[in-house]
Amino acid sequence: MSDFITKEHETLEAMISLYCRECHRTPEDALCDSCRELFDYAKARLEKCPYGEDKPVCSDCPVHCYKPARREQIRQVMRYAGPRLLRSHPLLAVRHLARSLKKPPKGPP
């Protein structure tokens, strides 16, 4: 797995964990069943992302490969965890923010 994908996994896990801990009251280092399923789903999408290392943040993606229900779920997680990631994982938060400021692609790769 490339460094890029590994970092993306880390960010995804940090955001879903933060959301699950604070919104579902799960203990540290655990995910509830629903968040575990979302994490596994999102990881699988990430590994198959057609943009590879040029991947935009998913919210800016013109393809959006998530099923609608999953898309809504991850949107909720990102909306909650995005602004809060800065205090728990400042480096991941800055990296994610920098990527979200990049111009999104106009269409499929």
Evaluate the CA torsion angle 55, 100, 68, 76 in order and state its sign.
Answer: positive
By CB under 6 A, tell whether 49 contacts ligand SF4.
Answer: yes
Token output for 91: 């480096």
By CB under 6 A, tell whether 56 contacts ligand SF4.
Answer: yes
Whichever of 88 and 100 has its CB closer to ligand SF4, that residue is: 100
Whichever of 9 and 26 has its CB closer to ligand SF4, that residue is: 9
Write down the H helix ranges in the chain. 3-23, 33-47, 68-88, 90-100
Q: How far apart are CA 96 and CA 107, in angstroms?
A: 21
In the complex, minimum distance from the CB of residue 87 to ligand SF4, in angstroms, rounded to a whole number:
25
In the complex, minimum distance from the CB of residue 102 to ligand SF4, in angstroms, rounded to a whole number:
12
**Of 43, 63, 84, 99, which one interacts with ligand SF4 (CB under 6 A)?**
63
